[in-house]
A and B are shown apart, each in its own frame.
Chain A
């Protein structure tokens, strides 16, 4: 019989779950856990802020497909995790966040560093637990990992009072998990699958529209097979980038507000949309009543609440993307004749390509193209939020699943760098870039310490435009260029990098870009590249919020 403390049970259970690394920050009520970690084989990465720990766990999860784990103390430690938890929730990322809590009998008494963590995180977690009895701990951890990683994944919080960490009981690891009230539907409904196959056979202008669900379920192979069989163009949401190679002739790139003109035209002109693992977000659909007016819609998603939420659907199918796609594939007898349609789409591609001015100026899009060239399209690309992020969607030809690490649903500035650190931990052999804005990078710049000290050689490419650029763009277009609180007076990023023990490079000329990127990749340390780019460059095309998808501003005027 193995009698253990709650803290020992926690770490032992994490090891049983296959956890190799945890990100976090210590404090008063998690001392028993840190004492166990002191000589545990579980690797612990100390970040410099709990938000960094949550984002790192998130980035680790995105790149590996495993559950990311982070740990904080109670009160301010836990509230610092909140943004990271919300971020993971919005993007359906599997995460387990463990927060220390004050002693059980003090809960509710406004004890020192007490906060109601389960209350605060209720609406931003897939589920959360307050463990009040040490005998429940192992089972709770088992359940938490199961819930976080199955169905539509998401973050689960375990709030663990310090006296429960100290209490002793026998360690019994449950052999199986069964939760009667939680049984995700994986197999699609057979009748609906046949109906979908029929609709596909009869269509002449199909578009496959995919999202993060393809990445989560590992369905890229099935997606490729389907696209080639039915000869349909494929467009992706922001979360779906990497699921279908942008170098493929059937690929339309991203759709929506800052999507390609040809993806948006194709969606609007289609007679059938096969939507898989995507949720018809308002950034994707534009004005909803004008969306794809002639299209029948097949919607495959593991989450029943995603279906018919924003849009009327003709054939809803609840199930796992990989399974359902291969089932539909099996039922398609004859491929539709899409020759004429592909010709039209190709014409749109020729007439409305992605565009920026290729002059002698150092433009941000050029930097991203050069990163693509230098890495052969094989790097893990994290981004911050804003223009830097949208240009990264457009100008890096994403082609491999789990190589795109960016905050979609929440749009969290400060996500990219700590997430890149987590991604580098999960993919030690890969080149990891954080394509950053000069504003966003300063939201978690302290993590330079984490990266340098743990020898995680992330490459930060700051597209330094001296502005909170995306907000400035909206002010330029919709608020008469009244740049209220968007110009930035920035620190010297090169000196800042050096102060942290990283390498800093400033690049102000177009002709120096390629060499600097090469140098950064060859440097075994963390590198901060400060690209001094054209300050008022805009992201185009752009569908103004609330407009129909084909009402794009192309910025060429």
Chain B
């Protein structure tokens, strides 16, 4: 099961290595990881998404994270009410023939809204042979969006990793 874990840490060098070390020491792969400052400059937030093969091991990792001196608090959102988003940039080869289709997909995404609220989808750049699309959405709809484009030539997908906030 996927877990989204939010960790508040001291904004110091070395902390990321400590956190990552606890996962890597067990051969755990981190699905996504974002780090940035919070409203308090001395504190950073890490949002980690991991796939727990064994819930007991994840429980132990969480306890050990808590034990790290530079970690202030840790919250596992998995069983809580929370909002989750990821920012995706997609560069797609486009010409006169394919552009209308891409537009349709982007417009549809921009108008549709899910249980977790309205998404954001728009063009950031249009060139004669390619376009860059920005999408901010939840995991399910990012997946759907990308699958709608599967017959086109997708040049590059850049994903920010998930961030989450409790309701």
Per-residue interface assignment for chain A, residues 180 to 193, with 1 indicating a CB less than 8 Å from any chain B CB and 0 otherwise: 11100000000000
Given contacts A305-B67, A309-B60, contact A181 B10 (CB under 8 A): yes
Chain B residues in 8 Å Cβ range of A180: 72
Given contacts A118-B14, A309-B60, contact A127 B69 (CB under 8 A): yes
Kindly state whether residue B98 has any CB partner on chain A within 8 Å. no
Per-residue interface assignment for chain B, residues 60 to 72, with 1 indicating a CB less than 8 Å from any chain A CB and 0 otherwise: 1001101101111
Are B63 and A305 in touch, CB under 8 angstroms? yes
Tally of A-B residue pairs with Cβ under 8 A? 33
B121 to chain A, nearest CB (A): 39
Chain B residues in 8 Å Cβ range of A127: 69-70
Are B64 and A122 in touch, CB under 8 angstroms? no
Kindly state whether residue B21 has any CB partner on chain A within 8 Å. yes
Per-residue interface assignment for chain B, residues 1 to 40, with 1 indicating a CB less than 8 Å from any chain A CB and 0 otherwise: 0000000011001100110010001000000000000000
Chain A residues in 8 Å Cβ range of B14: 118, 130
Are A304 and B21 in touch, CB under 8 angstroms? no
Count residues of chain A with CB under 8 A from any CB of chain B.
17
A152 to chain B, nearest CB (A): 8
B122 to chain A, nearest CB (A): 40
Are B69 and A147 in touch, CB under 8 angstroms? yes
Kindly state whether residue A179 has any CB partner on chain B within 8 Å. yes
> How far apart sit A130 and B17, CA to CA, in the bound complex (Å)?
14
B8 to chain A, nearest CB (A): 9
Chain B residues in 8 Å Cβ range of A304: 63, 66-67
Are B67 and A181 in touch, CB under 8 angstroms? no
Are B69 and A182 in touch, CB under 8 angstroms? yes
Kindly state whether residue A123 has any CB partner on chain B within 8 Å. yes
> How far apart sit A203 and B81, CA to CA, in the bound complex (Å)?
42
> How far apart sit A509 and B93, CA to CA, in the bound complex (Å)?
90
Kindly state whether residue A447 has any CB partner on chain B within 8 Å. no
B19 to chain A, nearest CB (A): 11
> How far apart sit A163 and B146, CA to CA, in the bound complex (Å)?
53
**Chain B, interface residues (CB within 8 Å), range:** 10 to 19
Kindly state whether residue A126 has any CB partner on chain B within 8 Å. yes
> How far apart sit A180 and B42, CA to CA, in the bound complex (Å)?
12
For B24, give the chain A residue with the smallest CB separation: A123
For A130, give the chain B residue with the smallest CB separation: B14
Chain A residues in 8 Å Cβ range of B9: 181
Given contacts A119-B17, A130-B14, contact A305 B60 (CB under 8 A): yes
Chain B residues in 8 Å Cβ range of A122: 17-18, 21
Kindly state whether residue A303 has any CB partner on chain B within 8 Å. yes
Are A179 and B60 in touch, CB under 8 angstroms? no
> How far apart sit A41 and B9, CA to CA, in the bound complex (Å)?
39
> How far apart sit A130 and B13, CA to CA, in the bound complex (Å)?
9
Chain B residues in 8 Å Cβ range of A308: 59
Per-residue interface assignment for chain A, residues 467 to 502, with 1 indicating a CB less than 8 Å from any chain B CB and 0 otherwise: 000000000000000000000000000000000000
Per-residue interface assignment for chain A, residues 79 to 120, with 1 indicating a CB less than 8 Å from any chain B CB and 0 otherwise: 000000000000000000000000000000000000000110
Chain B residues in 8 Å Cβ range of A147: 69
Considering the complex, which residues of chain B in the window 54-86 have a beta carbon less than 8 Å from any beta carbon of chain A? 59-60, 63-64, 66-67, 69-72
Chain B residues in 8 Å Cβ range of A309: 60
> How far apart sit A48 and B57, CA to CA, in the bound complex (Å)?
42
- Name the contact of A181 in the complex, choosing from B13, B17, B25, B70 (C-beta under 8 A): B70
Are B64 and A181 in touch, CB under 8 angstroms? no
Q: Which of A304, A305, A309 has the most CB of B within 10 A?
A: A305
A279 to chain B, nearest CB (A): 12
For A143, give the chain B residue with the smallest CB separation: B69
Q: Which of B10, B14, B59 has the most CB of A within 10 A?
A: B14
For B25, give the chain A residue with the smallest CB separation: A123
> How far apart sit A55 and B72, CA to CA, in the bound complex (Å)?
32
Closest 6 CB pairs of A and B: A305-B63, A181-B72, A127-B69, A182-B69, A305-B64, A304-B63
Q: Can you spell out 12 A-B residue pairs with CB atoms less than 8 angstroms apart?
A: A119-B17, A126-B69, A127-B69, A130-B13, A147-B69, A181-B9, A181-B10, A181-B69, A181-B71, A182-B69, A305-B60, A305-B64
Besides A122-B17, A123-B25, A130-B13, 15 other CB < 8 A contacts?
A: A118-B14, A122-B21, A123-B21, A130-B14, A147-B69, A179-B69, A181-B9, A181-B70, A181-B71, A181-B72, A182-B69, A303-B67, A304-B63, A305-B64, A308-B59
